[in-house]
A and B are shown apart, each in its own frame.
Chain A
């Protein structure tokens, strides 16, 4: 996400390296680059101009700071401005005091409303809520069916009354049912149109007037160009939206819409869609996003994912084992399984600070590797997992056959296990952890 922008920013830092201080000339030159980067990232033309003006005033106003290079200074200013442009803090969906909390999604066709409805339901389920969904997009062929399928996957009820009932009626029924069936969150998937038109707004206003949603979220395709602000403005004027969900943000070179919409409507981006699966919805963190733009990585998101996926009890047990050096293949397997729960390798690597996104492009992350490793481990006997030393040549051949892999792959896995053991031994030395921690800090 934002990769091109990140690349440009890194270039600016490189160019300014070796220069003594910020001058009007090198500021102008850098800002031309920034402006171009913003436009190529689809930041709205006017928003980009305002942004550049602000940064310039700030940069000129800063004296020579002794401890900082001009490159660092410039990035600092741009970083700070990006954060203030995108809103200082993450804003979550407010839960109503008396349930159910009603969330209405609106947006143009193909922006990803129905998928976002499913993802949002998943998000609320994860937070311990009991959502119910309303399939009020009765116009697009099979939209209702699509939401029903998602509802089945999530085991969440979906109100679908067929094409003959009005969207308004469907939403009302959903709210009624929420009260009767003890559902505390109602998510309304409304119909989109190709473009902003009166008929759609009329329908949406009607729904809003009848069920009084606590939260109206606009779903916007993250790849939208200069038109994004017009769309957001139109919806905001008619419906007074509470925020946005930016979808399809897991691809490349985009995100300008995030900056523009926020700047023009002053409404926060609340979530970003980062994949096709139902769990691929993240709370939007302006601070982190600004860091990501500037190539500082996203350690916080990484840690949060790890926390969500890893069972604390399990982790504690593992730690004891590591300390006592009784870490066997059984433990190795459960560790791998937890790693698998954190998301795809690609995503995880991209969040690491200092990882060059350009170099990653085209590199094929072997997402199946974990599955194969699991197969290998499952093809071992319990005895073999507990005492890996007994795994000799003939056992290796059997394991390879049993798991549908090759002896080389089995060897590879055993090698990885040995390396890990060695690493653990080193970590047990006093002071080792502190050292490791320092190595992982970005931008020092």
Chain B
């Protein structure tokens, strides 16, 4: 457990340096909480990709909290901000299901890290002693299948693939059949990256979802949107459109967090869409995909 916390903190070190240090510096320059200080905090939040509306909301909340506590002491501000931001993220338990196999569909725009996330998730479940089957439903990108196969081998997971360019729904059909036959615990479906504005590609995604549903009632149990942690406000649009197309997302996997001094988009998504973050990727190693824990995340930002 301690190791996990440490890795999270190390992974978020950059974010923290950008965020907490700058807040602290701002706080240090003031002897009381006033509008000027709040404006400085506002600008720091904006530079962390939190977004205009969410920033304003956090600042309003901060002001209210200061009034409630009857404090004008800048030293209290860090705590108030931490509370406010933790509240926005809330808690997000994994959707419960005791069905076997558990079917997880991974979606997202190009280059967000879907294939890598699929691989890491497979390793994670395999590490828990589960029998994992991976479906290579990204039949579009050149060599995506090979990339995923490398991950499948590392995770010692079963692997279902078709030819490059074949119908992804057919791959998923085969994977579902195989999962039942081989008594798999978890099926992870890696889909092709697509910009959410491409209606025909979103249709293809809906078809993949329908295919799993036809093979097994209740599937897919999870639809995870993979988001690049360095993405700006467009992440909101991605989350909204994917969610609408697929009848809701069960969660978000936020990747490349170790690479960015940002990650603030998580808060915007929390405020606007209420879609919980389920996983965060904080490193390139196979074990660097962690379950998202909102209080720990916020604490890691501040400590």
Which A residues have a C-beta under 8 Å from some C-beta of B? 36, 39-42, 44-45, 108-112, 140-143, 145-150, 193-196, 221, 223-228, 230-231, 247-248, 250-254, 256-257, 276, 362, 364-365, 367
Chain B, residues 79-120, CB within 8 Å of chain A (1/0): the string is: 000000000000000000000000000000111110000000
Which secondary structure dominates chain A's binding surface? Answer: loop
Surface stretch bound by A, among B66-74, B166-174, B195-203, B205-213: B195-203
Q: Complex: how many Å from CA A362 to CA B244? A: 12
From 237 to 273 in chain B, residues with beta carbon under 8 angstroms from any chain A beta carbon are: 237, 256, 258-262, 264-265
Output the residue of B109, B228, B283 with the most chain A CB within 10 A: B228
Q: Is the CB of A251 within 8 A of B109?
A: yes
Given the complex, which residues of A lie within 8 Å of B113, measured CB to CB? 109-110
Q: Determine whether the beta carbon of A194 is less than 8 Å from that of B284.
A: yes
Contact (A142, B199) CB under 8 Å given A227-B261, A256-B232 = no
The answer to whether A227 and B260 touch across the interface, beta carbons within 8 angstroms, is yes
Q: DSSP class of B's interface residues: helix, strand, loop or mixed?
A: loop
Beta-carbon contact of A140 and B147 below 8 Å = yes
Contact A110 B146 (CB under 8 A): no
The interface residues of chain A lying within 8 Å CB-to-CB of B144 are 142, 146
Contact A41 B261 (CB under 8 A): no
Distance of A144 Cα from B58 Cα, bound (Å): 45
Q: B232: nearest residue on chain A (CB-CB)?
A: A225
A contact residues around B61 at 8 Å (CB): none
Please pick, from B233, B265, B283, the residue contacting A40 in the complex, using a CB distance under 8 A.
B233
Give the interface residue-count category, chain B. Answer: 35 or more
Question: Which chain A residues border B43 with CB–CB below 8 Å?
Answer: 45
Q: Is the Cβ of A41 less than 8 Å from the Cβ of B233?
A: yes
Give the residues in chain B near A251, CB-CB below 8 Å: 109, 195-197, 234, 237
Given that A36-B52, A248-B109, A253-B237 are contacting pairs, would A224 and B47 also be in contact in the complex, using a CB cutoff of 8 Å? no
Instruction: Answer whether residue B5 sits at the interface, using C-beta atoms and an 8 A cutoff.
Output: no
Q: What is the CA–CA distance of A111 and B111 in the complex, to the nearest angstrom?
A: 6
Contact check, A225 vs B146: say whether CB atoms are below 8 A apart.
no
Minimal beta-carbon separation of A199 from chain B (angstroms)? 12
In whole angstroms, what is the CA distance A110 to B144 when docked? Answer: 13
Min Cβ gap B43→A in Å is 6
A333 and B196 alpha carbons, distance in the complex (Å): 33
- Are A227 and B230 within 8 A (Cβ)? yes
Measured CB to CB, the closest approach of chain B to A368, in angstroms, equals: 9
Q: Is the CB of B231 within 8 A of A194?
A: no
List residues of chain A with CB within 8 A of the CB of B259.
108-109, 193-196
Q: Is the CB of B195 within 8 A of A146?
A: no
Look across to chain A and name the residue whose beta carbon is closest to the beta carbon of B46: A45
Asked if A225 and B142 sit within 8 Å, CB to CB, the answer is no
Closest 9 CB pairs of A and B: A225-B232, A195-B259, A110-B111, A42-B232, A149-B142, A145-B143, A142-B147, A146-B143, A225-B49
Give the residue among A36, A149, A223 with the most B Cβ atoms within 10 A. A223
- CB pair B49–A227 under 8 Å, yes or no, is yes
| A45 and B196 alpha carbons, distance in the complex (Å) | 26
Contact between chains at B233 and A142 (CB < 8 Å):
no
Cα of A229 to Cα of B123 in the assembled complex, Å: 34
- Collect the chain B residues with CB atoms within 8 Å of residue A149's CB: 142-143, 164
B109 touches A195 (CB 8 A): no
A338 to B260, CA, bound (A): 45
**Bound form: Cα–Cα A444–B113 in Å:** 46
Looking at A146, A148, A256, the one whose CB has the most chain B CB atoms below 10 A away is: A146
A142 touches B262 (CB 8 A): no
Taken together as a complex, chains A and B put the C-alpha atoms of A109 and B150 apart, in Å, by 18
Please determine whether B150 and A141 come into contact, CB atoms closer than 8 angstroms. yes
Query: Out of A196, A224, A248, A253, which one reaches B110, CB within 8 Å?
Result: A248
Count chain B CB atoms within 10 A of each CB in A148, A248, A250, A251 and give the residue with the most: A251
Residues in A with CB closer than 8 Å to B228 are 110, 221, 223
Flag if A142 contacts B150 (CB, 8 Å): yes
| Contacts A142-B144, A145-B146 given; does A225 touch B256 at CB 8 Å | no
Point out the residues of chain B lying under 8 angstroms from A257, CB to CB: 232
**Cα A367 to Cα B198 with chains together (Å):** 11
Could you write out 12 A-B pairs with CB less than 8 Å apart?
A110-B113, A112-B110, A140-B147, A141-B147, A149-B143, A224-B232, A228-B232, A248-B109, A248-B111, A251-B237, A253-B237, A256-B232
* CB-based nearest A residue for B150: A141
Contact across chains for B111 and A226 when beta carbons are under 8 A apart: no
Question: Would you give the shortest CB distance from B204 to chain A, in whole angstroms?
Answer: 13
Q: How far is the CA of A110 from the CA of B140 in the complex (A)?
A: 16
Closest CB in chain B relative to A135 CB, distance in Å: 11
Q: How far is the CA of A224 from the CA of B258 in the complex (A)?
A: 15
B234–A42 CB distance below 8 A: yes
Structural contact, A367 and B256, CB atoms closer than 8 A:
no
Among B141, B258, B260, B283, the one with the most A-chain Cβ atoms within 10 Å of its Cβ is: B260
Q: Tell me if B14 counts as interface (CB < 8 A to partner A).
A: yes
Query: Contact at B146–A142, with CB atoms within 8 Å?
Result: yes
User: In the bound complex, do residue B111 and residue A221 qualify as a contact, i.e. CB atoms below 8 Å apart?
Assistant: yes
Contact B142 A254 (CB under 8 A): no
Q: Is B295 an interface residue (CB 8 A)?
A: no
Q: Which residues of B contact A143 (CB under 8 A)?
A: 143, 147
Asked if A253 contacts B233 (CB within 8 A), the reply is yes
CB <8 Å contact, A195 and B256: yes
How far does the alpha carbon of A231 sit from the alpha carbon of B153 in the complex, in Å? 33
CB-based contact A195/B258 at 8 Å: yes
Q: Which residue of A lies closest to B257 (CB)?
A: A194
**Residue A225 contacts which of B141, B164, B230 (CB distance < 8 angstroms)?**
B230
Q: How far is the CB of A153 from chain B (nearest CB, A)?
A: 8
Determine the chain B residues whose CB is within 8 A of the CB of A111 once the complex forms: 111
Asked whether A224 and B231 contact (CB < 8 A) given A150-B142, A248-B109, the answer is yes
A226-B150 contact, Cβ under 8 Å, with A109-B256, A194-B258, A253-B237: no
